[in-house]
Amino acid sequence: MAGTESQPVVARLSRSAIFIVATLNGGVEGLRAVRSLCGDLAALVRTVGFRDLDGGLSCVMGFGSEAWDRLFGAPRPKDLHTFRELHGQHHAVSTPGDLVFHIRAVRMDLCFELGMQITSRLGGAVRIEDETHGFKYFDDRDLIGFVDGTENPEGSAVIDAAVIGDEDVPFAGGSYVIVQKYLHDLARWNDIPIERQEQIIGRKKLSNVELDDSVKPSFAHNALTSIVENGEQLDIVRDNMPFGDFSKGEFGTYFIGYARSPHRIERMLQNMFIGDPPGNYDRLLDVSRAVTGTLFFVPSATFLDGVSPDSPSSEGRSSPPPDPSGSRSDGSLGIGSLKQEG
Question: Residue 148 catalytic?
Answer: yes
Out of 142, 148, 276, 330, the active site residue is 148
| H, E, C per residue of the chain | CCCEECCCCCCCCCCEEEEEEEEECCCHHHHHHHHHHHHHHHHHHHHHHCCCCCCCCEEEEEECHHHHHHHCCCCCCCCCCCCCCEECCCEECCCCCCEEEEEEECCHHHHHHHHHHHHHHHHHHEEEEEEEEEECCHHHECCCCCECCCCCCCCHHHHHHHCCCHHHHHHCCCEEEEEEEEEECHHHHHCCCHHHHHHHHCECCCCCCECCCCCCCCCCHHHHCCCEECCEECCCEECCEEEEECCCCEEEEEEEEEECCHHHHHHHHHHHHCCCCCCCCCHHHHCEEECCCEEEEECCHHHHHCCCCCCHHHCCCCCCCCCCCCECCCCCEEECCCCCCC
Known catalytic residues? 148
